[in-house]
Structure 1
Amino acid sequence: MPVPHSFKLNEMVQHMPQDKVLWIDLQPTLHCLNKRVAQLLSRSFAVQRWSFQHDLDESCSVATVHDLLRQTLVASPEPMHLVGHGISGTVACLFAEKYPDLVKSLTLLSVDTLSVNHWSSHYLDMRSQLPSSRQAILRHLSSLLFSHQNPRAVEVLPCLLAKCLDNEFTQGSIVNQQHIPDLNTPKEVPTFILNGESDFVVDTNSRDRWSKSLKSGDRFVCMEKGRHFFQFDQSQHVAQLITAFIQMVPGPWIDRELSSNDFTSLARS
Structure 2
Amino acid sequence: MSVQPDVLWINVSPSFQRFDRFLIRYLSHQVSIAQWEYLQNPDEPSSLDIALVLLHDYLKSCRQPIHLIGHSTGGLLGLLYARQHPERVKSLTLLAVGVHPAIDWQAHYYAMYQLLPCSRRMILAKMVQNLFGSQEKNSTRALIQLLEQDLNSSPSPHSLYRKASMPSGGVSVPLMVCGSQDDLIVDPMALQGWKAWMKEGDLIWECPEGHHFFHYYHPQLVGRQILQFWHQAGKSLTNHQLA
Taking the TM superposition and a 5 Å limit, the aligned residue runs for 1:1-16 are none
CA drift at 1:178 = 7.4
Query: Relative to 1, partners in 2 of residues 1:165 and 1:60: Cα closer, same or farther, differing over 3 Å?
Result: closer
SS of aligned partner of 2:58: helix
Aligned residue for 2:8?
22
Aligned residue for 1:183?
168
**Which amino acid in structure 2 is aligned with residue 190 of structure 1?**
P
Aligned residue for 1:125?
111
Aligned residue for 1:244?
228
Aligned residue for 1:3?
none
In 1, Cα distance between equivalents of 2:176 and 2:138: 30
In 2, Cα distance between equivalents of 1:58 and 1:206: 30
Tell me how large the CA RMSD over aligned residues is: 2.5
Q: Per residue, is there more helix in 1 or in 2?
A: 2
Query: Relative to 1, partners in 2 of residues 1:64 and 1:91: Cα closer, same or farther, differing over 3 Å?
Result: same
In 1, Cα distance between equivalents of 2:138 and 2:233: 37
Question: Contact between 2:69 and 2:94, CA under 8 Å: does it hold in 1?
Answer: yes
Residues 148-204 of structure 1, C-alpha deviations (whole Å, 9 max, x = no match): 488875453211111110222223149x847442232202x1011101111111122
Q: May I ask how many residue pairs the two structures share in their alignment? A: 239
SS of aligned partner of 1:229: helix
SS of aligned partner of 1:200: coil
Aligned residue for 1:210?
194
Residues 79-111 of structure 1, C-alpha deviations (whole Å, 9 max, x = no match): 111111111111211110110011111000000
Taking the TM superposition and a 5 Å limit, the aligned residue runs for 1:246-261 are 246-252=230-236
Query: Relative to 1, partners in 2 of residues 1:58 and 1:250: Cα closer, same or farther, differing over 3 Å?
Result: same
Question: Contact between 1:118 and 1:171, CA under 8 Å: does it hold in 2?
Answer: no
Question: Contact between 1:217 and 1:254, CA under 8 Å: does it hold in 2?
Answer: no
The TM-score normalised by the length of structure 2 is 0.89
Query: Relative to 1, partners in 2 of residues 1:52 and 1:237: Cα closer, same or farther, differing over 3 Å?
Result: same
The TM-score normalised by the length of structure 1 is 0.81
SS of aligned partner of 1:205: helix
Q: 1:71 is matched with which residue: 57, 63, 70?
A: 57
Residues 44-70 of structure 1, C-alpha deviations (whole Å, 9 max, x = no match): 111111111222131143222211111
Unaligned regions of 5+ residues in structure 2, if any?
none
Residues 114-148 of structure 1, C-alpha deviations (whole Å, 9 max, x = no match): 13421001001111111211111111111111134
Question: Contact between 1:94 and 1:183, CA under 8 Å: does it hold in 2?
Answer: no
Q: 1:146 is matched with which residue: 122, 132, 156?
A: 132
Aligned residue for 2:31?
45
The answer to whether 1:55 aligns with 2:47 is no
Unaligned regions of 5+ residues in structure 1, if any?
1-14, 257-269
State the identity %: 28
Aligned residue for 1:267?
none
Q: 1:171 is matched with which residue: 154, 157, 161?
A: 157
CA drift at 1:245 = 1.1
Aligned residue for 1:192?
176
CA drift at 1:112 = 0.7
SS of aligned partner of 1:90: helix
Q: 1:111 is matched with which residue: 90, 97, 107?
A: 97
| Bigger relative contact order (CA 8 A; separation at least 6) | 2
